[in-house]
Amino acid sequence: MDPLTAEIQALKKSKKATILAHYYQEGEIQDLADFSGDSLALARAATKVDTPIIVFCGVHFMAETAKILNPEKTVLLPDLKAGCSLADSCPADKLARYQEMLRINGRKFQTVTYINSTAAVKALSDWVVTSGNAEEIVRRVPEDHEILFVPDRHLGHYLQEITGRKMIFWDGACMVHEIFSVGDLIAMKKKMPGSIVLAHPECPANVLEHSDFIGGTEAMIRHVGKFSEPKDFLVATEPNMMWQLQKRHPQHRYHGVPGITCACNKCPHMARNTLEKLRDCLISENPRVEWEPCFDQAGEVLRRSLLN
């Protein structure tokens, strides 16, 4: 074990901390974590942690969710600037004005919000969904209500297509999933006949059209697990996901679909968390997520949506 990893392991023990990591973190961080998962699994895992400190290796809204669901715990995020382009696209004051305008116009709707959003936005919502439970929750919205889906328009369009529920969309998108190159994807499929394309529903429709399987990260792992013979999988999501796929199902080969502007589509926010920052936050017990007044209401929505 290298000295930095050993130091983190020792600190984790002496500080009584549990490390949670998202699948989009570097493999070396996922390797150190007590639990890796998608947002849904991590939110549920956070409620079962029995140590006083949670170190959340992910982005800000994920750590915030862990704090909201566990007010008594100290929740650390190695880099407080690890944000999310989707969360940034939907400021709470703008959403509140839009909801008001819809109400004034007599629209009867419920707001279904992707977990990639701030606590203030969650507090304005009826439901919070993740890629893992979105379809199930959308089907729970009463038929006589329209759905205002925020902030990811691509996930919203995909859900509208599979559920047949009419939606009003917010104009947000994930900076990582929006820029996969369809041209490169088609070329890869030609070069690798028999390959299987896995795409995240945050991708635009022109990528989903060329995919064999559409699903969040947990669903991707389950799908890949159905193939026992070695296959080539072309993966259209954050590339660190391939580390987890390789670990769980090493018999296959995984190829990242390139982006239009760079070779890899790595999420720059997730990449802010490093082993050094993980060590430092354990030492200083900072930066941490502080309680905010909107967390009470956001917590009600989160518990109703994710824990029931």
Give the residues lining the site for ligand CIZ (CB under 6 A): 22, 38-39, 116, 130-131, 200, 216-217
CB of 41 to ligand CIZ, least distance (A): 8
Residue with smaller CB distance to ligand CIZ, 45 or 192: 45
141/267 with CB nearer ligand CIZ: 267
Task: Quote the least distance from Cβ 240 to ligand CIZ, whole Å.
Answer: 11
Instruction: Please state whether beta strands 196-199 and 213-214 pair in parallel, antiparallel, or not at all (unpaired).
Output: parallel
In whole angstroms, the minimum distance from the beta carbon of 132 to ligand CIZ comes to: 6
Burial class (CB in 10 A: 0-12, 13-18, 19+), 303: middle
Specify burial of residue 158 (Cβ count, 10 A radius: 0-12, 13-18, 19+): buried
**How far apart are CB 107 and ligand CIZ at their closest, in Å?**
28
* DSSP per-residue string spanning 262-299: SSS---TTGGG--HHHHHHHHHHT-SBPPP-TTHHHHH
Q: Which is nearer to ligand CIZ, 18 or 217 (CB)?
A: 217
In this structure, what token pair is assigned to residue 182? Answer: 């369809």
Residue with smaller CB distance to ligand CIZ, 12 or 177: 177
Nearest CB to ligand CIZ, comparing residues 200 and 252: 200
Tell me whether residue 240 is exposed, middle or buried, using C-beta atoms within 10 angstroms of its C-beta: 0 to 12, 13 to 18, 19 or more. Answer: buried
- Least distance in angstroms from the C-beta of 42 to ligand CIZ: 7
Shortest distance in whole angstroms from residue 202 CB to ligand CIZ: 7
Yes or no: say if 38 and 238 are a contact pair by the CB < 8 Å rule. no
| Interatomic CA distance for residues 99 and 3, integer angstroms | 52
Angle of helix 39-46 relative to helix 60-69, nearest 10 degrees? 30
Comparison of 200 and 279: residue with beta carbon closer to ligand CIZ: 200
CB of 138 or CB of 282, closer to ligand CIZ: 138
Evaluate the CA torsion angle 183, 188, 191, 195 in order and state its sign: negative
Sheet containing 167-169: order of strands = 127-129, 109-114, 146-150, 167-169
Tell me how far apart the alpha carbons of residues 77 and 120 are, in angstroms, rounded to a whole number.
19
- Of the two residues 155 and 282, which places its CB atom closer to ligand CIZ in the complex? 155
Minimum distance, C-beta of residue 38 to ligand CIZ, in the bound complex (Å): 3
Please state, in angstroms and rounded to a whole number, the distance separating the CA atoms of residues 78 and 263.
26
Confirm if 212 and 169 have CB atoms less than 8 A apart. Answer: no
In angstroms, give the least distance from the CB of 248 to ligand CIZ.
14
